[in-house]
Chain A
Amino acid sequence: MERTNKIDKLNMINQITHLDIENVRKHFPILNRLVHGKQLVYLDNGATTQKPSVVIESLIKHYSENNANIHRGVHKLSEESTLAYEDARSKVARFINAEDCEIVFTKNATESLNLLAYSLGETLREGDEIILSVMEHHANLVPWQQLAKRKKIVLKFVGLEKNGSNKLDLEELRNLLNERTRIVSLTHLSNVLGTVNDVHTISKMVHSVGARFIVDASQSVSRMKIDVNEIDCDFLVFTGHKLYGPTGVGVLYGKKDLLKFMPPFLTGGDMIKSVSLESSSWNDVPWKFEAGTPPIAEAIALGRSIEYVIKIGIDNINLHEKELIAYARQKFEDLDYVTVYSPSLESHIGVISFNVERVHSHDVASLLDNEGIAIRSGHHCAQPLVNYLGIKDCARISFGLYNTKEEVDKFIIGLKKVKTFFGEKIKVKNE
């Protein structure tokens, strides 16, 4: 409770009361660049967000002024680097309402999930069950498939509601949960559908059978307020580069009592307490899970990006992105040759996936690129979901805090051009 108040206070002090887009865009130097002679319209934030100057400057400052290895040297630079690195951990912890010792720095969300699949996976036995969903990114699927093979564990999958809502079928989840369920690992926000999963409700359901609940917050962390105590998840993962931070640093949150009993994932330097030629004892959490030299400059820069997001206000970002989604959906409605794969508006944020009738998504993306508009195409590292939707691929726009309605307009004009370019009548080969 006390911690929650602290966050609110921090937000209140620093918050800009409304999102001044014109000003905000000036914080991101890359938005000035031209692509194919046109002003960049960056709508691929689901893949990675652009970086504000404060983050870029943080990287430069670290390497120009403070760079040294951490937790080792007794010299001044090592002390400064260590303090900055651990301070970044505190910033992450406060941001999601966790304790410092519950934050493990990893390489990215994929490594965080692999860490769990190996470490938490070690505690599982043959016949135990893990529940995932059909809307998971490959990062929250393949590590569990590998674990299932290694330890003869049963994987089960929650599908979407049968009514075409593009929402997770919570009734199906309820039916899949049983006393053999050990882990439920689900995305907070689908990187294809933009569907927000009700992790608060799911958490209660999962805990009612005594299983552990893992939340993949990769897509949600930059656009929704996350409070791990409120969600009451056991673990939560995200990557830094989708939160306006640098690549190369990710986060694993774990309840400290669970992290303590879990075996390490990667072993080596820094994660040990003492080492003899025969055996070693492990460092305390979270360092037990941070073997070798971590991404020091990147973690510090991630701390800066979190400060930046707090300053802008995660609630402001949320509102702004919801507005963009509503606006874009409305624009899409006028285009009868476009199919959109989305849930209802109230469960929707961040990304919109779509297909243009009889035009492959890569061609849509190539032609939009020619207009300076960056979007994603293909299977979005979520092949099972794309197949589930009955399609081979799709195009996707995804918003960041700096996107504007004018950019949505440019995108829609670009989309109309794509349609004109490919012509009204494309012969369907199988007809």
Chain B
Amino acid sequence: MNKTELMYREIVLEHYKNPQNYGTLLDYDLSNKEDNPLCGDEIGITIKLNNNTIFEIKFDGHGCAISQAAASILISHVKGKTLDEVKNLSREDMLKFFGVEITPMRLKCVLLAWNVLQNAINNYGEKNE
């Protein structure tokens, strides 16, 4: 398999076709929605906390398979983690979750959900300081 085929491997397509935790929480503590201005991809995230731990989390949005699958993959990794733990997740961690090398032009697609999540937590932190 070459880079493109790896990028679109089975697990990514599976997450795209059957996204995990898709939707919007009606009762949530944190939320954020952002788009990628260059391509229009959009991800929104809502989070319900329990003692600073992510109790429930959902995402919605639209965009390419990579951005949407990356969101589904990220969300499944952060459920049950504390906000501090999630805040410490780096770009590299996100790329590791995604699992394969990504072509440079599509990096922003993989990182969109990670950005939205980080900003959700940062905004929440500022509000509650």
Contacts and interface: CB of A to CB of B under 8 A. Distances in A.
B109 interface: yes
B70 to A, nearest CB: 13
B17 A378 contact: no
A288 to B, nearest CB: 36
A1 interface: no
Given A360-B63, A392-B40, A393-B40, A366 B106 contact: yes
A429 B8 contact: no
B8 A366 contact: yes
Contacts of B62: 392
A36 to B, nearest CB: 6
Contact of A367 (B4, B16, B39): B4
Given A422-B13, A426-B17, A378 B40 contact: yes
Contacts of A315: none
Contacts of B40: 378-379, 383, 392-393
Given A360-B64, A393-B39, A422-B13, A366 B19 contact: no
B65 interface: yes
Interface residues of A, number: 23
Contacts of B22: 429
B104 to A, nearest CB: 12
Contact of A362 (B5, B16, B39, B60): B39
A359 B5 CA distance: 16
B51 interface: no
Contacts of A378: 38-40
B2 interface: yes
A370 interface: yes
Contacts of B111: none
A366 B63 contact: no
A72 interface: no
A359 B103 CA distance: 19
Nearest to A429: B22
A359 B41 CA distance: 13
A429 B19 contact: yes
A228 B40 CA distance: 37
Contacts of A392: 40, 62
B34 to A, nearest CB: 15
A377 B67 CA distance: 15
Interface string B102-127: 01001001000000000000000000
A423 B17 contact: yes
A369 B7 CA distance: 13
A379 B7 contact: no
A421 B22 CA distance: 23
Given A370-B2, A378-B39, A393-B40, A363 B18 contact: no
Interface string B1-25: 0101101100001001111001000
A427 interface: yes
B66 interface: yes
20 contacts: A359-B65, A360-B64, A361-B64, A362-B39, A362-B41, A362-B63, A362-B64, A362-B66, A362-B109, A366-B66, A369-B4, A370-B2, A377-B39, A378-B39, A379-B39, A393-B39, A421-B8, A422-B65, A426-B16, A429-B22
Given A362-B41, A393-B39, A429-B22, 12 more contacts: A36-B2, A362-B63, A362-B106, A363-B64, A366-B64, A367-B4, A370-B4, A370-B5, A378-B39, A393-B40, A426-B16, A429-B19
4 smallest CB-CB distances across A and B, nearest first, come from: A362-B64, A370-B4, A360-B64, A363-B65
Interface of A: 36, 359-363, 366-367, 369-370, 377-379, 383, 392-393, 421-423, 425-427, 429
Interface of B: 2, 4-5, 7-8, 13, 16-19, 22, 38-41, 60, 62-66, 103, 106, 109
